[in-house]
Amino acid sequence: MINAKLLSVLLVAAAVALVAVFYSQRNQQHTAAVVVAHFPKLMGQVNQVAKVQIEAGDAAITLVKGKSQWTVEQKGNYPASPVKVRSLILGLAELQRIEPKTSNPELHAKLGLSEIDPQSESMLVRLEDKNKSEILAVVIGKQKPARVGGNRSEYYVRAPTDPQVWLTEGKLPSDRTPAAWIDDRVLGAQTVDIESVEVVHNDGEHLRIRRKDKADKDFALLELSEDEEVESIYSVNNIPRTLQSLTADDIIPVDHIQLGSDPIRVQVDTFEGARINIALFKQDDKTYARLTAADSANEDGSIPPTEKAEVLNTRWQQWVYVIPEHQYDAVTIKKTDLIKANNATPEPRA
């Protein structure tokens, strides 16, 4: 005969097993639900998308596919972020349907799916082909972390002309301004192997750093006196590192902004023979960069520039870049801030 203690243990074990089975079936049902594509035809039409129109609040964003790149119409057809454009189109194609929700229009606002206006949370996305035929239109509302975890989210969505709301799961970019869709890499797809950097401040102070070979990891701070020593090689290397990864928060046409006449000037020479000149400004609580490229041995333009310099100038010539303040600070650090404090006044090296 089973005693009372053993019976209690068996009952508890059975209860735990039933709970485990319940949650396992529930998770399997959820998994089975989300594998259904919300836009089943879109994956086969991804390469046909030629225009993306986004309406969010009082902003309109138009992304146009060109021969070699996407551009942002509201930003003077400046190159768009290829990563974000691809993430949006593929994200919609991979969006998975979980379950239907309300079809009552009075509840749309609560889910962030009301008609587009400056106060609404909703975002309308339209995809068109090269013939301007609509491939897809969807209103995207509130989002929350997906129940299965990871970096995915759940989104409330509906068609613009259909009150039926669906809960979906996937990963979509949610940027709501034209500036957020530009390719924020100031160098674009170009890479440069920096040989030297010279920074000239408007008070006359300057610093120069250089490395002898592109394989060298560290840059040397030049023109040190006998007793001067670098405080942090990280801070020295951070100057070219920042220049190589310079990003833009926004872009402004050169004829739409009046910059000061006394910038901090940065000259960058590369192992490829290109010279990049950067004028840095701080005004109106923002930091700006104006860039031009030439050949380091041919700044007067007597010889046609290298292909890389030409590509960079084509990208830069019409624009002033709004850059993050921390990047401005990293590049404009003064030589005295890179040297260990020393009360003595040593003689410069010959």
The pLDDT-based confidence of 33 (bands split at 50, 70, 90) is very low
Q: pLDDT at residue 24 above 80?
A: no
**Domain extent listing, the chain:** 37-181, 194-338
Convert the pLDDT of each residue in 137-173 to its tens digit. Answer: 999 999 999 987 678 999 999 999 999 999 999 999 9
Q: pLDDT at residue 5 above 70?
A: no
* Angstrom distance (rounded) from CA 91 to CA 2: 58
What DSSP line would sit under 18-33, residue for residue? HHHHHHHHHHHHHHHH
Q: pLDDT at residue 132 above 90?
A: yes
Q: pLDDT at residue 34 above 50?
A: no
Which pLDDT score is estimated for 118? Answer: 87
Sign of CA dihedral 245, 249, 250, 255: negative
Identity of the amino acid at 253: P
Residues 32-36 have a mean pLDDT of 59
Residues 286-312 have a mean pLDDT of 76
Residue 75 has phi, psi (to 5 degrees) of -115, 45
Which pLDDT score is estimated for 308? Answer: 79
Residues 59-77 have a mean pLDDT of 97
Provide the CA 310 distance to its chain's centre, in angstroms.
Answer: 25
The pLDDT-based confidence of 14 (bands split at 50, 70, 90) is low
User: Tokens at residue 329, please?
Assistant: 């600070």
Which pLDDT score is estimated for 27? Answer: 52
What DSSP line would sit under 105-152, residue for residue? GGGTGGGT-S---TT---EEEEEE-TT--EEEEEEEEEEEE-TT-TT-
* Angstrom distance (rounded) from CA 174 to CA 176: 6
Q: pLDDT at residue 32 above 50?
A: no
Tell me the CA end-to-end span of the chain in Å, nearest whole number: 101
Convert the pLDDT of each residue in 232-264 to its tens digit. Answer: 999 999 999 999 999 999 999 999 999 998 999
What DSSP line would sit under 238-306, residue for residue? HHHHHHHT-B-SEEEEGGG----S--EEEEEEETTSEEEEEEEEEETTEEEEEEEEEETTBTT-SSPPP
Identity of the amino acid at 60: A
Nearest to 80 by CA among 62, 67, 92, 55: 62
Residue 140 has phi, psi (to 5 degrees) of -110, 130
